[in-house]
Amino acid sequence: MPSIRQIRQRIRSVESTSKITNAMEMIAASKMRRAQQSVLASRPYATALLDILSDLAQRSLSGEVQDVNPLLEVREANTIGVIVVTPDRGLAGGLSSNMNRAAEEFISTQTAPVKVVTVGRKGSDFMTRSQQDIVATFTQISEYPALDDARPVAKIVQDEYIAGTMDRVHIIYPEFVNTVVQTPTIRQLLPIEPSDDSSTDSSPGIDFAYEPDPGTVLSGLLPRLVEMWVFHAFLELSASEHSARMVAMNAATKAAHEMIGDLTLVYNKARQEIITTELLDIVSGVAALEQS
């Protein structure tokens, strides 16, 4: 059994750990709120862009858009690109390992060689360790993602795609379902598949005049669409990371308090034992004196 001093030290160290985890939980909570707000703030842009795309897609299907844009061209997949979006920092429960496991599983099921673009240190460390073909690495994203962070990532895969060094590009990111659930999600970025789902079209039947012409507008629109999807993945990552950390730190704080309770019990027992022994000593000493 540890000495009373050791127990006291232990209690103190657990207490200070719980203060740290508690602070981290509160920080994560406030960052999560901000991240959720930016997800909401980005929604009107996304909706408007997708509306236009579905309108343009219908035209291109009906043959009004003559030249097919290189970003729409479907090729046989000889090389596959994957953007893996992961957190920079740990202490976020199982988020990083879940993401890496999902990415690894996806890569291992591909029949063609896979090139990887990593976003976030956790993913880049993992992909380096598992010796994947890494094209580019981006870090320092998940705190407060900005659109300017998404642009270079989107540009790399578009360049590779147009150059023909990637024939299909996917993005893997943690989708924020709610505070406790984040699911790894895979989406095909390139070639862009125009959804002919007319239910998303909020302005049906409007015959837009496209200026200068539908083809030019389409080629301006598609790169923005890729950027937007990458940006969206970053925002989902940010919300997921902060909420996962919040939940993990909450559990850690609770565990620390429980541990402090258990330790205090042991400490009190030990203290009482000492007092009892001392008392016994005194009483037996007095009894011995009285006898003599």
Partner 1 sequence: MSPTNLQVISAEKVLYEDDVDIVVCPGIEGELGVLPQHAPIFTLLQTGEIRVKKGEQEDSIFVTGGFLQITQEKVVVLADAGEQAQDIDEERASRAKERAEERLNQQEQDTDIPRAENALHRSVTRLRVAERNK
- In the bound state with partner 1, the residue whose beta carbon lies nearer, of 78 and 203, is 203
- In the bound state with partner 1, the residue whose beta carbon lies nearer, of 188 and 216, is 216
- In the bound state with partner 1, the residue whose beta carbon lies nearer, of 196 and 213, is 213
Cis geometry, peptide bond prior to residue 191 (ω within 30 degrees of 0): yes
- 39 touching partner 1, by CB under 8 A: no
For residues 41 and 146, what is the distance between their CA atoms, to the nearest angstrom? 12
- In the bound state with partner 1, the residue whose beta carbon lies nearer, of 76 and 211, is 211
Of 107, 124, 236, the C-alpha closest to 182 is 236
Q: Which of 128, 200, 216, 264 binds partner 1 (CB under 8 A)?
A: 216
Edge-to-edge strand order for the sheet containing 114-119?
Answer: 133-138, 114-119, 80-85, 168-176, 182-190
Could you count the other beta carbons within 10 Å of the beta carbon of residue 120? 26
- 36 touching partner 1, by CB under 8 A: no
- 44 touching partner 1, by CB under 8 A: yes
- In the bound state with partner 1, the residue whose beta carbon lies nearer, of 91 and 147, is 147
Q: How many amino acids of this chain bind partner 1 (CB under 8 A)?
A: 27
For residues 203 and 156, what is the distance between their CA atoms, to the nearest angstrom? 33
Of 175, 184, 144, the C-alpha closest to 38 is 144
The contact pattern for partner 1, residues 105-144, with x = CB under 8 A and - = no contact, is ----------------------------------------
- 63 touching partner 1, by CB under 8 A: no
- In the bound state with partner 1, the residue whose beta carbon lies nearer, of 147 and 266, is 147
Q: Which of 29, 46, 134, 162 binds partner 1 (CB under 8 A)?
A: 46
Could you count the other beta carbons within 10 Å of the beta carbon of residue 204? 10
Contact between 127 and 134 under an 8 Å Cβ cutoff? The reply is yes
For residues 233 and 80, what is the distance between their CA atoms, to the nearest angstrom? 19
Residues that bind partner 1 (CB under 8 A): 38, 41-42, 44-46, 48-49, 52, 146-147, 203, 206-212, 216-217, 220-221, 224, 227-228, 231
